[in-house]
Structure 1
Amino acid sequence: MLGGGGLVAVNVYASATEGGWDQRSAQNQNAQVLSAPTVYCPDVGSRLTDVPDGARTEVDGELARLDQQIAGAYRQLSESAEAIRQNAGLADQAIMNPLKEQRAETLRRIGDALGRAGGRPQGLDVLAACTLRSTGQGGEQSTAPQAGGGQAGADGATPSQGAGAGAGGQGGNGPVTADYADITTVQPNVTAPPERSGGSTGTFSSSCGVNANGLFNSDNVIVAPGVSNGAHHFHDYIGNQSNNAFAGDQDLANADTSCADKGDRSTYYWPVLRLQNGKQERDADKPGGGTEGNAGQIVTAKQVTLTFEGNPTSKVTGMPRLLRIITGDAKAFVNGPANANASWSCTGFEDRQLRDKYPLCPAGSDVVRTFRFQSCWDGRNIDSANHRTHVAFEAADGSCPTGFQAIPQLVQRIVYAVDAPSLDDGGRTVPLFAVDSFPEQLHKPVTDHGDFIDVFDDSLMRTMVDCINSGRTCGAGAAEPPPAQSAEPTAGQTATPVTPPPGTASAEPSEPSEPAVSSEPAEPSGSSEPSVPVSAEPSEPPAGAPATETAAPSGLPRVYASASPRKPGGGDISRPTQRPETTTTPSAAAVVPAGQESPSTAAPADPRTQPQAVQGGLAATGATLWPAVFGTLLLAGGFALLWRTRRNSA
């Protein structure tokens, strides 16, 4: 068997290195990556800072139409990449010029809607033209100046710089190896504003799970209400379970929730994280998924914490019901960093945050995404035309802008058990990971963003405000201890993964006073994340008993391999009640030192002292012959491959 297998392996390797399947596949993949076209258009929504209420619905619909037009042009460019390489003028003639005309017509309708409401802006027509860029070797090369003034990216480079060489992801439009940075090389850069007299120091936590039930869609009810696939990328949802583009305020108010406290029906959502591992979700051929460059296996978070904090300089007031907040900018790679608010790190290293890089975490450390939402409100509006001007961030000293008042600040922390990708081979050995994005945003980490709609019951919001202003720690998630963080491993050591406390992973806490109603399935008893009381002390082994090993949690990411669609064509994909694979922790009696066989209660008789008939019948004897048969087949196959290789080379 060894001889035959070795001969087969040698011949397959020789064939690959001589221009066989592997090399050709790599060349084809690189050709696709290096030629992947992208579309850059001025962001119209960010320019519309004041839209009258009477025109807002129509304007929102037209803004969503602009995004659909860009996505359509991107698909055309991807499908026509080979023809465009042969005829550079084809892109302008067949795609970019028609796109400009479509955008001009849409911008005219936006202007008309604003004009009827008494506020037609000037200069909308200059936002119609877009530019085309394609990825070139060693970096992204632009075929035209950037539209909208050439704003810089988060790293100070324009979007046509700094991509670096490397794989372009499963979707062919990113990420690239230059999008990652070793967290251990980053200097601590987190500072908190000093607390002052009169501030609010309490915290309120809500526990809403990790979306283990798999509620996904590519809608965006805040930015594109009533528009299917308005986000052009998939979102994870926790909390409110009626999240889609067509959910009205009453739908959200009446919905079920995944939160432990049923008074929190708020909507929390963010772009999914995917492994670029070649596997396909069921959205591989759906809008918002694979057709727009969002490909790979969706990873379920290991832990999600939702904490509402106070203000260093003042008391907080309650959020208005149905307040909408978006933090970060899904188009920051094109728009520039003005509204970017991405924050990436690793457990054990959260005093250092990355804004425009994905973190490479050491062994035993998990990837962390943190969103700190705006915490100042204008006191009047639950939303604004560009979904930003009704809320603001506090200043460095913690104060709010003039005319704004402090509200509880949502801090959202999402943890993933994903390994650092292998950059030297473009993620072939250990896959790259990246967030979903608009097609032209190339899965850049700076585009990370989070969305929130306040659907707290009024009484629970009052409880939150009182808790924060009185300096207490409250809420359904408050009983959970803060997640233990692995220390930075020293030379020669490997950090050990930390088992999360109960309620912080996929297990959902239930209220003691009434049965918990949740759309998330119960955690199986054999979970790899056992629920252990925090105060319990480890039991000591009996005197003289050998020390037993504890089963370490699997280092594999928690992923779902498939999803089941809920509605065609648009992007709502909901998963069946699956759970990630679990590892059953063996009992102490079943655990034995590595390399030894499990002890048996009765020692078997020595087969050498038994007659042949007792050792096995014809079937058992035949079963011992299969290695020789298999080895013979391998040997024959190896010689056949060798003859074929020599014949081809001759």
Structure 2
Amino acid sequence: MGRKTRKRRTPLAAKVVAGAAALAVGGGGLVWANFHASAHEEGPAHHRTRSAAAQVATIDCPDVGQQLSGVPDRARGEVDGELATMDSQITEAYQRLATTRRAQAGDPRFVQNTILGPLKDRRKAIIDRIQLEIDRAGGRADDNLDQLAGCQGRPAEQPQNGDGQNGDGQDGGGQDGGQNQDGGQNQDDNGNGAAGPVADDFIDINDVEPNSRHSENGLAANGDGGSTGTFTTDCGVNENNLFNSDNLIAAPGVDNGAHHVHDYVGNQDNDAFSSDEDLANADTSCRNQGDRSTYYWPVLRLQDGTEEFDANELGGGAEGNVGRILKPAQAELKFVGNQQGDVVAMPKFLRIITGDAKSFTNGDANANSSWSCTGFEDRQVTDKYPLCPEGSQVVRTSNFQSCWDGQNIDSANHRDHMAFVQEDGGCPNGFQAIPQLQVRLVYDIPTPTVENGQVRNPYAVDSFPEQLHKPITDHNDFINVMDEHLMNEVVDCINSGEDCQ
């Protein structure tokens, strides 16, 4: 599969790329073994029981970016760059964790002394720079950010509590360190050299209770009252093969800022270096040429042994994102209204991130993934991939935040300027309702086989390496680049109760 994208490297981008380049080893991409194990795992080849508590599967670091607020506008570029460097540090530490299992088995303090301790020192240096940059720009940095420097080792089975705060790493080595007693590496990687998914990440859609997903996130904003119209924009399914591992919202100016690959529809000039002017002047894949908005999400891959165009590249196979990229068969982009009243126009270049790419370690406070199957969409699940029956397709749904603070097109943590509707369908005090973007992606995917605690030919969302391809890390991004005429048409359709496209 080809791709169309462009890169304009800056000194900051070059610094981040250089920091991550050490991940590619052996000239052909990194072997990313998955060290997940159930509490009582027995296989015909090993006849053994392993302790889940002894397994350190990944690196759990507090998310500094989500704790930032009040960052002056003129400091945000530098702060975002520092946060991207911090992500690269975590990726390097995870790679070190995944390739030193023999040493961990021989020294229960290896993880703490060799991986987590140095990582804390490097993160502390970046936090100090972030505080300095905020203060220099006229802001007031939080003196408590230093408490977020420490990371800990985490078993794959650890509940998603999102604490990750103590940084003491006392669980850091374990006695077997994720290594088989015969000295070989754990083979729970499905033969793909990828850190997940594993069998426990999948569920038969028939085993999901109807209407059982309860979350304050992702609520549909529209209802029988208020503004009941809809506006649907058709932007295709990435027929132009626009892929990259950048994130223009969270890591502007940083090459490979996402450490995983995105699908793009709509705006065709979307990479880390695109300015608002670039976006406004770009081509669009949308049928309505007044919609130059950018819609993007992590790709799904089928781990069937296919070597994609990025098999040896950062963001792709060199960071554990392996297999055949699956384009959606359908990409439905719909804007809906608000239960309590009219909506107002979105400001141009408004940026919204829904979901959390780090939910596996951050906890589920910002998780907003919804997985289902066609014909079963009353059954939604956030933390499992569905196994769909024959003739049914996999569905990913994201309902975006639809309450805007009325002032800002972005915020320091890329969240505070937006909010979800409340249970009554209204917006929190100080926020006003805008059209809610709902993204529904439908995929033709062969149903994976799960037998004896193993999954064969799994599909998985691209993720930061240390997030182990967990389904709860799914997320979706949007930048509004509709022209004024089209945005007014969207608002009028929704407020008048019409269905437009």
Q: CA deviation at 1:84?
A: 2.7
Q: Which of 120, 126, 129 is the matching residue for 2:147?
A: 126
- 1:450 paired with 2:476, answer yes
Structure of larger gyration radius: 1
- 1:114 paired with 2:134, answer yes
In the alignment, which residue of structure 2 is the partner of 1:468?
494
Do the aligned partners of residues 141 and 360 (structure 1) sit closer, same or farther apart at CA in structure 2, a change above 3 Å counting?
closer
- String of CA shifts for 1:321-363, please: whole Å, max 9, x gaps: 0000000011111111111101000001111210111111111
Counting matched residue pairs gives 428
Counterparts of 1:175 and 1:50, CA distance in 2: 37
Unaligned runs of 5+ in 1: 1-23, 151-164, 476-650
Map 1:2-81; keep pairs closer than 5 Å.
37-81=57-101
Unaligned runs of 5+ in 2: 1-42, 168-185, 214-218
In the alignment, which residue of structure 1 is the partner of 2:273?
246
Q: CA deviation at 1:188?
A: 1.7
Q: Which of 64, 77, 97 is the matching residue for 2:117?
A: 97
Counterparts of 1:42 and 1:254, CA distance in 2: 38
In the alignment, which residue of structure 2 is the partner of 1:332?
359
Asked whether the equivalents of residues 168 and 176 of structure 1 are also in contact (C-alpha less than 8 Å), the reply is yes
In the alignment, which residue of structure 2 is the partner of 1:421?
448
- String of CA shifts for 1:402-436, please: whole Å, max 9, x gaps: 111110000000000112211106666x5111101
Give the aligned CA root-mean-square deviation in angstroms. Answer: 2.7
Q: CA deviation at 1:77?
A: 2.3
Do the aligned partners of residues 352 and 220 (structure 1) sit closer, same or farther apart at CA in structure 2, a change above 3 Å counting?
same
Counterparts of 1:309 and 1:353, CA distance in 2: 20
Query: Which structure ranks higher in relative contact order (CA pairs < 8 Å, sequence separation ≥ 6)?
Result: 2
Q: Which of 296, 305, 319 is the matching residue for 1:269?
A: 296
Q: Which amino acid aligns with 1:110?
A: I
Q: Which of 183, 198, 204 is the matching residue for 1:176?
A: 198
In the alignment, which residue of structure 2 is the partner of 1:188?
210
Asked whether the equivalents of residues 75 and 291 of structure 1 are also in contact (C-alpha less than 8 Å), the reply is no
- 1:315 paired with 2:342, answer yes
In the alignment, which residue of structure 1 is the partner of 2:231?
204
SS of 2:325's equivalent? strand
- String of CA shifts for 1:448-482, please: whole Å, max 9, x gaps: 1000000001111011111111111111xxxxxxx
- String of CA shifts for 1:352-390, please: whole Å, max 9, x gaps: 210111111111000000000011101000000010110
How does the TM-score come out when normalised to structure 2? 0.80
SS of 1:305's equivalent? strand
SS of 1:423's equivalent? strand
Asked whether the equivalents of residues 221 and 338 of structure 2 are also in contact (C-alpha less than 8 Å), the reply is no
Do the aligned partners of residues 466 and 356 (structure 1) sit closer, same or farther apart at CA in structure 2, a change above 3 Å counting?
same
Counterparts of 1:391 and 1:193, CA distance in 2: 14
Q: Which amino acid aligns with 1:98?
A: P
Asked whether the equivalents of residues 221 and 436 of structure 2 are also in contact (C-alpha less than 8 Å), the reply is no
Counterparts of 1:83 and 1:149, CA distance in 2: 24
- 1:213 paired with 2:235, answer no
Do the aligned partners of residues 282 and 134 (structure 1) sit closer, same or farther apart at CA in structure 2, a change above 3 Å counting?
farther
- 362-371 or 287-296, which deviates more: 287-296
Do the aligned partners of residues 149 and 313 (structure 1) sit closer, same or farther apart at CA in structure 2, a change above 3 Å counting?
farther
Asked whether the equivalents of residues 196 and 313 of structure 1 are also in contact (C-alpha less than 8 Å), the reply is no
Asked whether the equivalents of residues 220 and 245 of structure 1 are also in contact (C-alpha less than 8 Å), the reply is yes
- 1:434 paired with 2:460, answer yes
Counterparts of 1:300 and 1:370, CA distance in 2: 15
SS of 2:311's equivalent? coil
Q: Which amino acid aligns with 1:120?
A: A
Asked whether the equivalents of residues 171 and 290 of structure 1 are also in contact (C-alpha less than 8 Å), the reply is no
Q: CA deviation at 1:192?
A: 6.3
Asked whether the equivalents of residues 234 and 436 of structure 1 are also in contact (C-alpha less than 8 Å), the reply is yes
- String of CA shifts for 1:297-324, please: whole Å, max 9, x gaps: 1111111100000111110111000000
Map 1:578-593; keep pairs closer than 5 Å.
none
Asked whether the equivalents of residues 426 and 432 of structure 1 are also in contact (C-alpha less than 8 Å), the reply is no
Q: CA deviation at 1:118?
A: 3.0
Q: CA deviation at 1:97?
A: 1.9
In the alignment, which residue of structure 1 is the partner of 2:373?
346
Q: CA deviation at 1:78?
A: 2.3
Q: CA deviation at 1:141?
A: 11
Q: CA deviation at 1:149?
A: 6.5
